[in-house]
Amino acid sequence: MSFTVAVAGASGYAGGEMLRLLLGHPEARVGTLTAHSNAGSTLAEHHPHLHALADRVLEPTSVEALAGHDVVVLALPHGASGRIAAELEALGSGAVLVDLGADHRLVDAADWEAFYGSPHAGTWPYGLPELIRAEHADTQRTALAGARRIAVPGCNVTAVTLGLQPGVAAGLVDPQDVVAVLAVGYSGAGKALRPHLLAAEALGAATPYSVAGTHRHIPEIAQNLRSAGAAAVSLSFTPVLV
C-alpha cells in the first residue's frame, strides 16, 4: 500500500537526505516539498543528484501545503518544527509526523529551556530503535511500531548513545565519568554560508565548538544513558569540526 509524504525544509541537507531515502522506498510517494528562503526555486538547484525530483518547485512552508499527506517530515530548525507540528494538530491533520529537528526529543522541559531558551514543545516517541530501555519489558523498536509521532535523534547523540549505552547497561561503563570527543563533519552546521565553514578556513583545521558543557546534545545523551540504567550521568562532551 503506497503512502504520500510531504517534506518541510526540503532544500536543506536533512531534507535532501530524507528525499534520497524516500526515492528508494517502493511504497513512498513524494508529495509537497516546502522551503523558507528557497521557496520558488526548483529542487535541482539544491539537490541536483535527486534526478527524479529535479523539476519540483519548492512551496512556502505552511500547514495548508503540508496537510492532506499520510506522512509529514519536518526538516526544520528547532522552534520551527514545534510550531508547524502544533498547527497541523490544531488543524486536525491525521498525518504521521516525523521531526528531524530537536523540538520533541527531550523529556525534561527544564533541560530544553536551559539549553534552547524557549518553551518546550512536548515529547514524542524517540526514533532510535536500538535505544536500551532498562526499566521496560518491551523494546524501543516495539514502542515505535505504529507511532504517529516520531522524534528523530541528533547526529552526535546517536554516535555517543550507540557507543556507550551497552556498557552502561552492563555496568561496565561509569556513567558519572564519561568523556566524549567527536570528530564531526561540516554538513552538521547546515547549508547557511558562514565564514568559518568556508573551505579556505576549514581545510587542514580541527575546531572544537560549543565547549564547556554548552552543546545542546548533552541533555539528550544523558537522557539516553539514563534510559540504559544510569542513575546519574556526568558527561564531558566536545565536538570537533574536521
- Does the structure show a pLDDT above 80 at 27? yes
pLDDT at site 120:
97
pLDDT at site 65:
97
The DSSP secondary-structure symbol of 175 reads T
The most distant pair of C-alpha atoms in the chain lies apart, rounded to whole Å, by 54
pLDDT at site 193:
75
pLDDT at site 217:
97
Give the catalytic positions in this structure: 155
pLDDT at site 223:
97
Sign of the alpha-carbon torsion through 60, 15, 148, 157: negative
Q: 120-157: per-residue pLDDT in tens? A: 999 999 999 999 998 886 899 998 999 999 999 999 99
Average pLDDT value over all residues in the chain: 94
Distances (CA, A) of 62 to 7, 40, 90, 121, 181: 11, 14, 13, 18, 39
Q: What domains does the chain contain, in order, with CATH numbers?
A: 3-153 (3.40.50.720), 157-241 (3.30.360.10)
